[in-house]
Amino acid sequence: MLTLCEIAERLGVCTATVKVWRRNGLLRAHAYNDKNECFYELPDADAPVKHKRKGLSHNMRCHEEVPHVTDEVQYEA
């Protein structure tokens, strides 16, 4: 059984990621006090892995150049 910090270090992720994985059922944990602090079971070979960023988001890749718009006003006399 490992503490939150120990399991995060073993898996190479931050403690917030460990908590999310526990809530989603990817890690087994056992509460040991009334503050909902847990001991975590060491996962088998199929431990979850955090995905790395895959570059710019779709919106950033598909961003089209917007022509410069001036603040001209047409005036008819």
DSSP state of 28: -
Q: Is residue 49 part of a domain?
A: no
Q: How far apart are CA 5 and CA 2, in angstroms?
A: 8
Structural domain including 12 reads 1-44
Q: Is residue 31 part of a domain?
A: yes
Q: Is residue 63 part of a domain?
A: no
The pLDDT tens digits for 17-55 are 999 999 998 899 999 999 989 999 988 877 788 776 555
Q: Which of 56, 39, 48, 38 is nearest to 17 (CA)?
A: 48
| Confidence at residue 53, expressed as pLDDT on a 0 to 100 scale | 57
Question: Which range has highest mean pLDDT (39-43, 60-64, 67-71)?
Answer: 39-43
| Confidence at residue 48, expressed as pLDDT on a 0 to 100 scale | 80
Q: How many domains does the chain have?
A: 1
Task: Please give the structure tokens belonging to residue 5.
Answer: 């910090």
